[in-house]
Structure 1
């Protein structure tokens, strides 16, 4: 006599929330229910982390997390534009330059907006997009490149710093309206920063010298990006 095995009913598996939790934890991103945007929002906050891992109590943007996002934006046909929101104190120069070069080389329109602060290498990231905005109260600090920690081989180190600084200056002047001489003058200005050299620009100051395109907020940034997307659609 053969006994029939009782039939088991499949119970519905609970929806996976791990990926959404991970996105919120790592990138600060959540999905808006019932809405799928064709604009990708990239946030660069805290300190740009490069080759060295920063202490756990530092708010960081890890460049190895941002790079795949930029590749996905470029490849995904459903994404038509990139919005970059900046509130950063700066960070690793090479990592910041790498991200700026990637943003500048994308085929899709991009707009940046500086909220709070876009300091140091954040300046390079701010000008890497097709168009840039800065909030009225936001600030940008321009200063020479610095090294921290033990420095070995002083002459070679200074030569390396000069070349790195030239790369930053060249990128900023090629992707904004500020001249090289004016940018270097702001970088090496004395008397404005306590115990240091450099310049702090607040809101409209950055626009007046040609570093940033326009003063505005999220409404203006999205409207401009929509305009760039529509214009590209007409041309293509």
Structure 2
């Protein structure tokens, strides 16, 4: 479905991504983990065309989208939920959601999708006339995810969806991500909470200083001593710290 081949990306003259490869199959939930500054967010931005200096191949359904603009990538079926949510604080919840369907010209189709999102997120329906900036952090994250789903994507890219949320809300967000994946939408998840991410994923990739260093089945990565020590908060004895 999605194939990233020898991807490189630069911030000015600094190379942030050094020829990485990754794949996400139809219906898969794949996670990309690593420490701060590893290049995880840069990878997602490169896939959706937000990085201007990049090289390598990006293919979606065997179509080369490497040179596509962000709106063209979205039109192909890939939607990004960015780190920090980036909702429109002065717009209402409903207006924020409609922004997610800006490529859709059929008003009836937009209305149907909107009601589907309100069924999935009842709290957003209750808040539909409320300004986005007045929502709690968890509600804003739901809004950001729901806005991306308004585009009816085939694949959802999520960048640090649990960032800044209380523990109980983190569990709710991960349950939501799994539910979305179970509905048939492929997911590429970037997440600092590596244990939670690997617990719901099919496969995982570990990124370090712009290079892919480990990949495999999520359950294997969860049990890998090197991954446990470096990214999951375990000590040399395999105990949580």
Please give the TM-score of this superposition, normalised by the length of structure 1: 0.33
Greater Cα radius of gyration, structure 1 or 2: 1
More strand, by proportion: 2
Please give the TM-score of this superposition, normalised by the length of structure 2: 0.33
